[in-house]
Chains A and B, each alone.
Chain A
């Protein structure tokens, strides 16, 4: 089995004894677009810099295509990255000259490829102007162009959306999605949760340097939701069906995934046959914004009270399990996100 494109194990970084990243374990496979989200100071940039090999971990390991980038810097031939926001270039050189310089540092890139990435990022007209007069968005696009220059197997981007207008953002999303379709593993950090839902395949939520949750957005997009009169009866009815993959209860809804999406036509009949009235049936649209807020707030609350575990609140969302609430039923804090 080939090694993941990016893999960290118990990655920890301390500055002056203060942990900035703690026990960070994750992986990004080829073709995935993995977004790191989290509040300011959560450790996203530090994780990006640790993974890219710009910073050294206090403990734990980082592997890029199965190789330690510190021990084998030549692995960076397969890496394209933008770790500064805005992307950093020599302002006295043109966009094209800066890319030539990057190409030379990368071991040589044909002139035609430089023109190609400049066109791809719609910088053809500005290619021969000095970068010093570029707008923030143009610099960011040039950064992505530089990252794409060597047709990398891994793309790492810190805040790629910073300073971009909606059209540029759309352009960059398309380019990253295409790169992922071509087998490139993309790791990025962002504050724009809408863009994460739009084109990322996975999202990791960071808080205080810890990966508090991971969501497989591809799997999330394949979920359905049924609002029913009796969630438990509906769940039992569905989980006995061979065409249902997973079922879970969330508040007043039953959330499920199917072996084949065509089987959605059978769901209504199955629920009604079980004597349960069906009020609503449809795709389970994932509200990352709410989910993110709940998870971060739950994590913060767990630090001040409770044992760090979660319970399901009245509205079906995760809330911290407080030890001073005897009637609360705790559930395990989801590490890798489950079906509900």
Chain B
């Protein structure tokens, strides 16, 4: 399994979608940090480099990041289908579930890698504003961007890192949903599009307040929620992940190639 994981991680770096995502995630914060219409849209001015990561997340968590994660995770399987290597791999003495679980594990780690990169790119993009103490908030803490006085850099870093960590956790089930749809359709594009369609559908389900707290899309804003609610969010996301992974394996185990 270790060998399989090593192989799958090495394939991740070869994916076109990963390279594309890295470019987007590098350029996006730089564009947003200096965009002239920020005040008009968001109603604030940036005063610190620690606020750029918040701006990046606020602008991308609803659509861009789920899209990038879904495309890459769908391509994890789609790449094998395009190259025709799936049957070749399955002829080796590994079980189908072992192979798919290696993919699932890579898809689970990928949001953390992507958001780690996004955070670094956002901090670098905010260099112009400086990283010293500032009056206001990071936008990722309890007081939002207005803050409650002077924000020390150490506190700002903790808030930013915590928020990105929670955001990455919230993106994991989206990656696994993309894997599930790829297994179902045996097609990367189909997997990514079906995932997006599901997310859009879930966003429409807010008209049912009773189920809203349990929706996958609701968890996409968990990074701005109080720390006390994170346990519940993580448990719910873990349930989604386990369900998506289990269904993927069950379907994959019975597929004809």
Interface residues of A (CB under 8 A from B): 49, 52-56, 73-77, 79, 81, 83-84, 87-92, 101-102, 104-107, 146
Contacts and interface: CB of A to CB of B under 8 A. Distances in A.
Given A88-B83, A88-B84, A54 B7 contact: no
Contact of B88 (A55, A73, A84, A107): A84
B87 A54 contact: yes
Nearest to A131: B83
B93 A73 contact: yes
Contact of B89 (A79, A92, A105, A107): A105
15 contacts: A49-B87, A52-B87, A54-B87, A55-B257, A56-B256, A75-B93, A77-B93, A83-B91, A89-B83, A90-B14, A90-B85, A105-B4, A105-B7, A105-B89, A107-B93
A73 B94 contact: yes
A101 B254 CA distance: 25
Contacts of B3: 104-105
B2 to A, nearest CB: 10
B92 A102 contact: yes
Given A76-B91, A83-B88, A106-B93, 17 more contacts: A49-B87, A53-B90, A53-B91, A76-B93, A79-B91, A83-B91, A88-B84, A88-B87, A89-B88, A90-B11, A90-B85, A92-B14, A102-B88, A105-B3, A105-B7, A105-B94, A106-B92
Enumerate the 9 nearest inter-chain pairs by beta-carbon distance, A residue then B residue, closest first: A88-B84, A105-B92, A55-B256, A54-B257, A76-B93, A77-B93, A84-B84, A88-B85, A81-B91
A49 B90 CA distance: 11
Interface in B1-45: 3-4, 7, 11, 14
A104 B83 contact: no
B92 A88 contact: no
Contact of B90 (A54, A91, A101, A146): A54
Nearest to B91: A81
Interface in B132-185: none
Interface residues on B, range: 20 to 34
B85 A49 contact: no
A54 B256 contact: yes
Contacts of B91: 52-54, 76, 79, 81, 83
A90 B89 contact: no
A107 B84 CA distance: 22
Contacts of B7: 101, 104-105
Given A54-B257, A73-B95, A83 B89 contact: no
A77 B92 CA distance: 7
Most chain A C-beta atoms within 10 Å of own C-beta, residue among B11, B87, B88, B256? B88
Nearest to B14: A92
Contacts of B256: 49, 54-56
A64 to B, nearest CB: 11
A89 to B, nearest CB: 7
Given A73-B95, A101-B7, A104-B3, A88 B257 contact: no
A101 B7 CA distance: 8
Nearest to A49: B257
A307 to B, nearest CB: 34
Most chain A C-beta atoms within 10 Å of own C-beta, residue among B4, B7, B91, B256? B91
B19 to A, nearest CB: 12
A87 B91 CA distance: 13
A295 B87 CA distance: 32
B87 A83 contact: yes
A102 B93 CA distance: 10
A99 to B, nearest CB: 12
B221 to A, nearest CB: 38
A107 B91 CA distance: 13
Contacts of A83: 87-88, 91
Given A76-B92, A106-B92, A84 B254 contact: no
